[in-house]
Structure formats: C-alpha cells, structure tokens
Structure 1
C-alpha cells in the first residue's frame, strides 16, 4: 500500500493538476482573446514549430531565431533568446534563479501570480500576460510576414494593449441609453471608387441540424452586384460558421474575377485572426484556404463591422436556414425577402 501511495505521489509531482491554473486564467484581468490565448498555452495547442513537427505538419521544429532549439510553447514565451531579452527589459522581475524555468506550468503560474510574488508592481504587473500575447504575435509576424520588431517595441505594444483594454472597459460602463444611441448610428458604408465590398455572415443555432451562410457584394454606388445564400451541415460553433461564410465569399469572388475587394464581417475574432495572423486550430483549414485564394486578387482588405452595419448579410444567412438542400444559391437580382434591408443601407 505504501509503495502504491509513493507512486501516486511521484505521479502527482510529474503530472500536477492544471485545474487551478486553468481556473486562474479566467480570473486574470485581461481581454477575452488573451484569456483564450492563455488557455491554449496551458493546453499546448499553440501552433509553434515543435508542435507542428510532432503532428507531421512541418519538416522542421526548430526555433527561427535559435535554430538548434526546438520551438515549444515554453521556448517561444520564456526560453528563446528574444523572449529572454524582452523579459529582461520589461517591468516584470526575473525569477529568483535568474532565468525562467524549463517548465511551462511553473512559468505560467508565476505570470498569473506576479503581483503576489511582487506586490510593489501594482498595475505594472498587468502587462505580464500581454507580453506573452505580443511574443506570439511578434513570432507570427516574423514567420508569415518577414517582419521583425525589436524588444522595446514588444514591450511598448504590450503596454498599449493594456491601455486599450482599460479604455474598452470604461466604455462598457457607459449608460445604456448612450450605448444604444451609438449603435443606432452604425451603418453600412459603400466602398471607395474602384473597389467593391463584400459583407458575409453566418447563422448558427445549437438546436438546428444545419447552419446558414450568406454574403452580399456591392459597389461604390451602393448597388448590389451579387448575393450568395447557402445552407451547410451543422458547424462546431458560431465562429466556424462565420469563417465558412467568409471562405465561400472569397471563393465566389475569386471565380467572378473581382480584383479589389473589401471583406467585412461582424465577427471581430475572425477578422483579428486574419489581419494579425492569429492562431486557432479549429479554424486553421478554413484560414489556409482563404489565404490561398487571396492570390487571385489584386488587393484585399478584411474589416470588422458591427452587426448594425451587416444587416443584409445577416438576413441572407438567416434565410439560408430555410433552404431544403445544401446547393449554393447565387443572385444577381435582389430577392424580395431582402429588398427592405438593401434599401435601408442606401439611406
């Protein structure tokens, strides 16, 4: 019995319960996107080179900055030479040993409890999770765009992220009548001359067996050029449905030979992933398809639009739920069921 207990104790040390850390993530004062990012860090679901190599999705699992080293999540955020430089010039004190641990969980515990380790930091401690976020974004900019930012830039951007998040919190506490008045003035705007604008949306309901996706293409005169409506099999989430709608829109416009297109979506998370080269494994195949299709265009932009300015696409997506099959429907003439929404956007 004693031997069994000792074995259990050894396993507990080697494989500690991560539940307290996961719970602490949701209590950390950061934005929802950073909450999700921290959760993915602990879950080891960040698409670093090492993880991609182990899944046979990349030939090389090495860090781009220090090639002999495998790029793990812990390496990217704490052990990489660039990460060590960022932490060294940040307001966050180094661990007592002088360097970060080889254990991701130990390092994450320190980050999530930095103000308990160093009470004197006060609000400066809030920047720690945002530095992690910026280290990932900086890495993605280097890998996908060939852009390099130096260590002071990473710290500056992390501090700006904190301030921007604080301001958004302050705006969220505005009186409701002020919020409503602001939402009422959010309207769809036509694209500049020489461009077309495509709004897309998805309709997802956990209780249904299918989803609806739709898009509308308009020119600088606010005239509808094309619309697309389609029912698809039930997707895993509303976000996946939004991504499917955008993928179909991009595919359709590439086939219709439009060259300069602004793609608008009311999914801020989806637009952020595309614009900032964010990472979300569940969307990876869709995002890769979209990026591949972009080579058929001369210029493209991805823009977030509040739901109030995305009414036509929303109406199309909801109408798609009534379609009896999964065959795509393309319209060059505005159907009666969406005319009032189109005319409203022209006012």
Structure 2
C-alpha cells in the first residue's frame, strides 16, 4: 500500500513559501530555491540561488532560510507560511527557548521575521517540498548558477505543480 504525500496548501488569504536546499559536499556549493504559492496551489513566484563559501549543509540551511525570509519581505508578503524540512532550524525559529544553543541564529531570524506582519514556520517533509528541492538541485547538479526571481513555475516542473494544484482543488 502506498501513501500519497502531496503539497499542502496554506490557509485562505495566506501564501506558502516552500524552501528547498541541495548541498554538494565535494565542491562546497549549495543550491537554494523557494516557491511561493497561493492557497489554491497556484505558483505565484519562484527563485533560485547558488551559495558558495559555506562549510556544511547546516550553514547552508541557515543562509537559505534567511534569504527566503528577506525575499518575502522584499516582495511585501504579509501572511506567509514558510515550509522547510529541517527540524533544528524550524525549532530554533518557533521555539527559541527550547534551542538555547542556537540563540544567536534565532535572534537573526527574529529580527528579519519582524518585518512580516503574520508568519508561521513549519517543518514539512521533503516530499511535500519536491518542487523547491528540484529547483535547488538544478543549481548544483545542473550547474545553473544564475540567480533570479520569476513569476509562475519552471516549464520542466509543470507536471509537478499542475498535479499538486489539481489535488488541492479536488
């Protein structure tokens, strides 16, 4: 028996920012992406970026989440659900007292998140973040190092985003 794992929508009037990362340890390069969707699953914007000069995957994840938050601020998003697959980072953001070792990191997140009127940070299974993950992976595996922000989704991910949108609608 297989279990269907699909993207989950945000509440009405909120947007959801799925964050994806991919790390190439052999060259110390990281790929990052975020995909912003409305409550019906329609992709509004997406972005990708390469990160260099970092020491490990955990450092990459912190920088990517900060970048995603800054991007939502730049695009003037006010009701954002951030979805990421790392329990440590989500915990440090949502329950900083339970993660005292990450106090400085939590403070960095808190300062940036104050610029968004309403926000939530959720831990979400990588399988529910597949679009953002594949875009991040395209940076490191596909050597697509050009950073950008674009409306809609990438044409080569059409089936993924359209199928998930249909699942939300039904």
Fold in common (TM above 0.5): yes
**Of Structure 1 and Structure 2, which has the larger fraction of its residues in helix?**
1
Contact 2:32/2:48 (8 A) holds in 1? yes
List, as ranges, runs of 4+ consecutive aligned residues in structure 1 with deviation greater than 4 Å. none
Whose radius of gyration is greater, 1 or 2?
1
* C-alpha contact (below 8 Å) 1:229/1:317 kept by paired residues: yes
Pick from 191, 196, 199: which aligns with 2:15? 196
Q: Which residue of 2 aligns with 1:284?
A: 104
Note the C-alpha offset of 1:275: 1.2
CA contact (8 A) 1:195 1:262 kept: yes
Q: What is the number of equivalent residue pairs in this alignment?
A: 162
CA distance in 2 between partners of 1:230 and 1:341 (Å): 21
Paired with 2:100 and 2:22, the residues of 1 have a C-alpha distance of: 23
1:120-139 CA-to-partner distances (Å, cap 9, x unmatched) read: xxxxxxxxxxxxxxxxxxxx
Taking a change above 3 Å as real, the CA distance of residues 337 and 208 of structure 1, as seen in their structure-2 partners, is farther
The 1:279/1:317 distance shift into structure 2, 3 A limit, reads farther
Identify the match of residue 80 of structure 2 among 257, 261, 267: 261
Q: In proportion to residue count, which structure has more strand?
A: 2
Structure-2 separation of matches of 1:303 and 1:324: 28
Query: What's the TM-score, normalizing by structure 1?
Result: 0.44
The 2-side partners of 1:303 and 1:258 are apart by 17
What do you get for the CA RMSD once the two structures are aligned? Answer: 1.9
Unaligned runs of 5+ in 2: none
Cα distance in structure 1, aligned partners of 2:110 and 2:67: 12
| Correspondences of 1:1-347 after superposition (within 5 Å) | 181=2, 184-277=3-96, 278-280=99-101, 284-285=104-105, 287-321=106-140, 322-324=143-145, 328-346=147-165, 347=167
Assess if the C-alpha contact under 8 Å between 1:201 and 1:246 holds in 2.
no
Unaligned runs of 5+ in 1: 1-176
Secondary structure at the aligned position of 2:70 is classed as helix
Q: Distance in 1 between matches of 2:91 and 2:14?
A: 22
